[in-house]
Amino acid sequence: MIRILTGLLIAAALFPASLMAQDGPLRIEITEGVIEPLPFAVPGFVPDTPEAADTARQLTQVIAADLTGTGLFREIPSSAYISQITDFAAPVQYADWKAVNAQALITGAVGVSGGKLTVRFRVYDVFSGAELGNGLQFAGGIDGWRRMAHKVADAVYSRITGEGGYFDSRVVFVSESGPKNDRRKRLAIMDYDGANVQYLTDSSSIVLAPRFSPTGDRVLYTSYESGFPRIYVLDVGNVKRRVLQQTDGTMSFAPRFAPDGRTVLFSLEQGGNTDLYALEIASGRQTRLTNAPSIETAPSFSPDGKRIVFESDRSGSPQLYVMRASGGEANRISFGQGRYGTPVWSPRGDLIAFTKQNKGRFHIGVMRVDGSEERLLTASFLDEGPTWAPNGRVIMFTRETQGEGGRASLYSVDITGRNLKPVRTPDGSSDPSWSPLQN
C-alpha cells in the first residue's frame, strides 16, 4: 500500500522510531560506532514520463549521497546490478539484490506535471525478503526536488537506524573571503550538504556566530554594523534584520535562543567585564544571570529549558559550568587538562559538545551533562564552535588551518569520532549553526 501525502511536511510523523525499531535484522545501532557500512542499492528512480527523467536521476543521486555521507551506508554501484528496476509497482526480485550483497534496496518513481513533483518510494530489507515500513509519497513544487530527496533519505535513515534523520535541514554560517589580516565576513545559509547557498548580509561589517531559532525561522548573530558588537535578529524568510540588544558603552555577543524561541541568552560586556544575561524578546526585559569579575560567555540551554551550560574563567582558566536557567550557583563540569569553551547542549539532552584547547591543539569533544565520559572527536591546529545535527548524532564545526594562508572551513564528524569530513562551501566558512529538521 502506498500512502498518499499531499504536502512535503507530514512524512516524519508517520514513521515513529519505535515502530521502525522492530523491523527485523536490518538495523544500525549508531551509538555503537559503525565500522562496516551497510551496503544498499538505490537504482535510479523510475520516471513516470520522459520529462521526469532528469529530476529522477538527480533525486536518486542526492538520496545516495545523503546515505553514504553518514558513513553508515555504502552504495552498491549500478554497474554491479544484475537486474534493473523499470517498474516501481512490479514485485522485487530479492535474489538478484542478494546476489550483489545489497542489504537494503530503495526503489522509487518520479512524476513531473505542471511544475509539480511527486516522488514515491519503498525500502526493502533484501535478506529478510520483506518491505521495511510502507511505501510513501511526497508531493510538492519541482523547485523543492532536493528537499524531497532529503525527505526520502531521512525516511530511509530513520527506518534503518531507528533514529530521527537530519538531511532535510539547513545550516546558517559565516562565509569568509580575503586574507587573514583583511577577512570579509557575511552571513550565509545553505542546505546541510552545502547546496543552495544564499547570502543573508553583505560583508561591509564583521558578522559573527549566527544561531538558529528552535523552529529555524530566525537567526541571531553579532554584527559590528554600528561600530560596536551588538546582537541582531534576522528573519530568514524576508531577510529583514533588527538590532536586539544595545546599551551604549557595552558590547553584546554570543547570543542563543531558548528552546521556546522567546528568550535569548547572551554575553554583555560592561567596563571590561563579561557576564550572562537573558532577554525576553517580546518585552525587552533583561535579566542578569551571573555577576562575577570573571568572563562568562557562550551560554547554551538544555533542550528542556531548565538549565544553562556556559564557559567561564572564574577558576583561572576557561572551563564549563552548568547552572539553573534562572542563574545562581553553577557547577563546574569540565575537569580534564586544558581549556574548555563554546559548550552546546545536544538536542537529545544527553551530551554537551565543546571546544577544547590543550597543548597547542584544538579539539571538538563531547561529554555527558555531568562532565563524565569526555570523548575528543577531532584534533587540529584550530577546531571550534560545534553545532548539533537535529538528531544529536552528528556535529558540524569550524576548522581553521595554520599560518599566513590560514583558511576556515566547515567539517562534520559523528559522535563516535568517525566520518570526519569537510562540508563543501563556495568560500571560506566558519561558525555553523544547524537548523532543526524542516517541516
Partner 1 sequence: MKLVNKLLMAGAVLALAACNDPSGLGGSDGASAGAGVIGTGLPSDPTSVAYFQQAVGDRVLFAVDQSTISTQNQTVLDGQAQWLKANSDFNAVIEGHADEQGTREYNLALGARRANAVREYLISRGVAADRLKTVSYGKERPIEICSEEACYERNRRAVTVLSSGLTG
Phi, psi torsion values for 124, nearest 5 degrees: -120, 140
Of the pair 11, 251, the CB lying nearest partner 1 is at 251
**Triad 153, 158, 162: Cα angle to 5°:** 160
Size of site (CB under 8 A) for partner 1: 45
Q: Identify which range of 22-30, 100-108, 145-153, 270-278 contacts partner 1 by CB under 8 A.
A: 270-278
Query: Which of 56, 188, 254, 265 forms a contact with partner 1 (CB under 8 A)?
Result: 254
426 binds partner 1 (CB under 8 A): no
267 binds partner 1 (CB under 8 A): yes
User: Cell 516524519 appears where?
Assistant: 12
Of the pair 246, 402, the CB lying nearest partner 1 is at 402
Q: How far apart are CB 198 and partner 1 at their closest, in Å?
A: 23
Number of helices (H) and strands (E) in the chain: give both, helices first: 4, 32
63 binds partner 1 (CB under 8 A): no
Cell numbers for 362, please give them. 584544538
Cα torsion 27, 29, 34, 36 to 10°: value is -20
Q: Identify which range of 82-90, 162-170, 235-243, 336-344 contacts partner 1 by CB under 8 A.
A: 336-344
Of the pair 83, 273, the CB lying nearest partner 1 is at 273
* C-alpha to C-alpha distance for 273 and 268, rounded to whole angstroms: 8
Query: Which of 27, 98, 146, 180 forms a contact with partner 1 (CB under 8 A)?
Result: 180
Residues numbered 282 to 321 that lie near partner 1 (CB under 8 A) are 295, 297-298, 311, 313, 317-318
Q: What is the DSSP letter of 435?
A: P
* C-alpha to C-alpha distance for 407 and 178, rounded to whole angstroms: 9
* C-alpha to C-alpha distance for 153 and 157, rounded to whole angstroms: 6
Q: How far apart are CB 249 and partner 1 at their closest, in Å?
A: 7
The DSSP annotation for 311-377 comes to: EE-TTSS-EEEEEETTEEEEEE---SSSEEEEEEE-TTSSEEEEEEEETTEEEEEEEETTS-S-EE-
Query: Which of 101, 331, 402, 439 forms a contact with partner 1 (CB under 8 A)?
Result: 402
Which residues bind to partner 1, rule: CB under 8 A?
179-181, 183, 205-206, 208-209, 224, 227-229, 249, 251, 253-254, 267, 269, 271-274, 295, 297-298, 311, 313, 317-318, 339, 341-342, 355, 357, 360, 381-382, 384-385, 400, 402-404, 406, 431
